[in-house]
Amino acid sequence: MGRIYQFLDERLNLTPLLRDITDHPVPDHANVLKTRSAFIYCFGGIAFFIILLQALSGVFLMLYYSPTPEDAHASVTYIQNETAFGALLQGLHRVGASAAVIMVLLHMLRVFFTGSYKNPRELNWVVGVFLLLIVLAFGFTGYLLPWDQKAYWATTVGLNMVANVPLIGDFLASALRGGNEMGTLTLLRFFVIHVMFLPALLAIFLAAHFFMLRRQGISRPL
Amino acid sequence: MDLPEENQSLPRRRFFINGIKALAALFGLGLGIPLAGFFISPALKKDKHDWIEIADSSLLKDGEPSRINYSYARKDGWKTAQTPRTAFVVKQASGEFAAFSNRCTHLGCGVNWDSALKQFKCPCHGGVFDAQGRVVEGPPPKALTRLALKVEANKIFVMEA
Amino acid sequence: MSSSDNMSSLPSPPEPDKSPCPFYPNHLFVEGVCALAVFAAIVIVALVWQVPLEEIADPGDATYVPRPDWYFLFYFQLLKYFQGPLIVVGTFVLPVLVMAVLILLPFFDKGKATGIRKRPLAAAAGLAGVVSIVALTAVSVLEDESHTTKMVLPPVTEAQIAAGEKIFASFCQICHSIDGKGGFMAMAPDLTEIASRVSRARIEQIIIDPQVVSPTTIMSVIPLSEEERHNVSAYLSRKK
């Protein structure tokens, strides 16, 4: 281990990079070991952890999932009943989705009530609001994938809400739906949005979120 | 802007910077337009609708809307899918038939006929319609959608709106 | 306070820290413990609360009562209050407005105070937001409770289950297999685990009107009395 690290370090000069990540001090007010109430500073980190969990369970669920109206429901049933740990994994993904929303909201409330969004962290707050929207979009698109009754009707209502946007609403809803009727194309594009578009977007915004956090440090209450 | 290199003339540098911007715009348009068009193309297609036979007119009760489940073949991406539908057909006082789509005009949930109250009720946000499909209360902005309907040899045909 | 001097002073804590806590390994360990606790909680919920997979989507189903996931319930409830031409307020204007306020919040709330006690207005606004979301969610749940109790089902008794099993054997088992018995030619779905898929009220609905499952179902209306139907649904509600 040490040798390999040395080999890499000599050639890539990793130490300053790692030092920067590992050694940056965590202020007392955000440190549970020193301040009891500091647990409220944990929500963001936990939200990130859950997002990683979602990515991992999601990638594995895709091994057995088929995004067509004919097969989706059967493939989810198959995951639940005939794969080892399938029910657990699907449960994890489903419960994790709720947990992610809860943690993101708690994190947001913490930032709001400690006034952490103020100068100089305005931009990070804005990025955070977009992250909330992305997480909700994950929820909305993921909801359709089992293609059960709840999925179908919740998405029907959701898309009809989009259609209410003035002027371009109908067009927007049709574009998302892939036509005027929910069907094969709707499920496929919701799937692709859920597993490709949104993760890409999420990665970009998360990177920005963390970059700004490291540059500006954790806010402290005044 | 950054300082120019010792010997590089300012105009030359400006040329390259503008060149990069032009390239970015070219790539943006050259990729952006096909990608966006590719994404939205299903929305640009019009659905074709035909008459669908849904019921025998002699079997319908007078005055009371009958729930009729039917299905029609619809082009769904690269395949043809049988799409289930529900309509309410009612014989009006004039003797004419009227067919209503069961999709609530608010946000698209399926309405039900409440035979005790003689009203259509939406289970989602509480929309209520009367037997003629008119809004009685709740959020719906307009009456239930009337489907085009014709009767031929005692068979009722409708066309999707 | 200019942003540049702020930036340079930020990474170091206000008073020099006597024993600075580095992110790695100290803080990461604490975060890891938190994460483990959350993970355990998620696993337990996932195991206890079997993920509800409902019947396959049926666009023709006229009896299904759609509800969104819990975190959209408040919004679902809110939509009931915007009627007719005002719908667009609920579906578009309000969400856009809320998002705009959230995004622009740091740009019009420029006061320097960050402690919540020094910001009564922000505290009140935040609290009002949280309370109204919780309240709307609660109203939505309560309204649904009062609607679904319309179908009054007698509590399940052992006698009912026994009676239900007999009725099931003579009327239903010809087509529906259960616990490996009956269901000739696999004409109808197996009901061995029916109760893990649908509620007892839903079972009653299906017996009353088989078409609620699917308009093309070949199941016919079974002439059962109300009591017999309750017995069958009681029996089936134990089949998990």
Domain shared by B67 and B40, yes or no? no
Q: For C21-31, what is the mean pLDDT?
A: 84
Burial class (CB in 10 A: 0-12, 13-18, 19+), B128: middle
A70-102 pLDDT, tens digit each: 999 999 999 999 999 999 999 999 999 999 999
> What is the amino acid identity at position A189?
R
B45 vs A: CB within 8 A: yes
The amino acid at residue B49 is H
Name the average pLDDT for chain C: 80
The predicted structure's pLDDT at residue C149: 44
Over 50: is that where the pLDDT of A149 sits?
Answer: yes
CA distance to A147, B49, B54, per residue, from C72 (Å)? 19, 35, 37
Domain ranges in chain A are: 29-216
Residues B37 and B68 both lie in one domain = no
Least Cα separation, residue A208 to chain B (angstroms): 22
A7 Cβ under 8 Å from any chain B Cβ: no
| Better pLDDT: A123 or A28 | A123
Residue length, chain B? 161
Q: Which residue of A has its CA nearest to C102?
A: A129
- Contact assignment for A148 to C35 by CB distance below 8 Å: no
Secondary structure element (H or E) that encloses residue C50, with its range: none
User: What is the interface pTM, i.e. ipTM, of the complex?
Assistant: 0.88
Average pLDDT over residues C206-222: 68
Residue B63 shares a structural domain with residue B138: yes
Interface contact B141-C87, CB threshold 8 A: yes
Domain C158-236: state its class: mainly alpha
Domain C70-148, CATH = 1.10.287
pLDDT digits (tens, 9 = 90+) for B87-111: 888 888 787 888 999 899 999 888 8
As a 3-state breakdown, chain A gives helix, strand, coil percent values, each rounded to 5, of 75, 0, 25
Whether residue B39 lies within 8 A of chain A, CB to CB, comes out as: yes
- At residue C9 the predicted structure's pLDDT band, cuts being 50, 70 and 90, is very low
Distance from CA of B72 to the nearest CA of A (A): 12
Q: Hey, what long-range contacts does C205-214 have (CB within 8 A, 24 or more apart)?
A: C205/C63, C205/C151, C207/C232, C207/C233, C209/C63, C211/B69, C212/C61, C212/C62, C212/C63, C213/C55, C213/C58, C213/C61, C214/B84, C214/C58, C214/C60, C214/C61
The average pLDDT across A194-205 equals 97
Check CB contact of C216 with chain A, cutoff 8 Å: no
- Establish if C69 touches chain A: CB-CB under 8 angstroms: yes
Q: Is B83 an 8 Å CB contact of chain C?
A: yes
C54: which 2 tokens?
A: 């409902």
Q: How confident is the model at residue C12 (pLDDT cuts 50, 70, 90)?
A: very low
| B105: closest chain A residue by CA | A160
Task: Name the minimum distance, in Å, from the CA of B124 to any CA of chain C.
Answer: 6
- Name the residue range of residue B18's domain: 1-45
Q: Are A151 and A145 within 8 A, CB to CB?
A: yes
Radius of gyration of chain B (CA): 28
What's the fold here for domain A29-216?
Cytochrome Bc1 Complex; Chain C (1.20.810)
**Closest-CA distance of chain A to residue B150, Å:** 24
Examine the domain organization and report whether B7 and B29 are in the same domain.
Answer: yes
Domain count, chain B: 2
Mind listing the pLDDT tens digit for each residue in B30-70?
Answer: 999 999 999 999 998 887 888 988 888 877 777 788 888 88
Higher pLDDT, C212 or B130: B130
Q: Which residues are within 8 A (CB) of A126 and not within 5 positions of it... i.e. 6 or more apart? A: C103, C106
A143/C102 Cβ within 8 A: no
Q: Which of A23, A92, A119 sits opposite C110 (nearest CB)?
A: A119
Could C80 and B138 be called an inter-chain contact, meaning their C-beta atoms sit closer than 8 Å?
yes
B95 contact A CB<8A: no
Claim to verify: residue B29 and residue B72 sit in the same structural domain: no
Higher pLDDT, B12 or C20: B12
The CATH number that applies at residue B102 is: 2.102.10.10
Q: Do B108 and A180 touch (CB under 8 A)?
A: no
How many Å apart are CA B123 and CA B110, to the nearest integer?
Answer: 7
C108 touching A (Cβ < 8 Å): no
- Full DSSP string of B46-89: PPP---EEEEEGGGSPBSSPEEEEEEEEEEETTEEEEEEEEEEE
Integer Cα distance of B90 and B63 in angstroms: 6
Q: In what order do the strands lie in the sheet with B119-121?
A: B112-114, B119-121, B128-129, B135-137
User: Measuring CA to CA, which residue among A67, A213, A42, A54 is closest to residue A135?
Assistant: A54
Mutate to test the interface with C, among B125, B129, B142, B158 (most CBs of C within 10 A): B125
Question: What pLDDT, on a 0 to 100 scale, did the predictor assign at position C22?
Answer: 83
> Do residue C23 and residue A22 have CB atoms under 8 angstroms apart?
yes
Predicted confidence at residue C2, as pLDDT, reads: 38
Scored b (16 or more CB within 10 A) or e, C205-224 reads bbbeebbbbbbeeebeeeeb
**Band (A217; pLDDT cuts 50, 70, 90):** confident
B63, B96 Cβ separation under 8 angstroms: no
- Burial annotation C118-142 (CB, 10 A radius, 16+ → b, else e): ebeebeeebeeeeeebeebbeebee
Candidates A18, A28, A75: best to mutate against C (most CBs of C within 10 A) is A28
In total, the C-beta contacts within 8 angstroms joining chain B to chain C are: 64
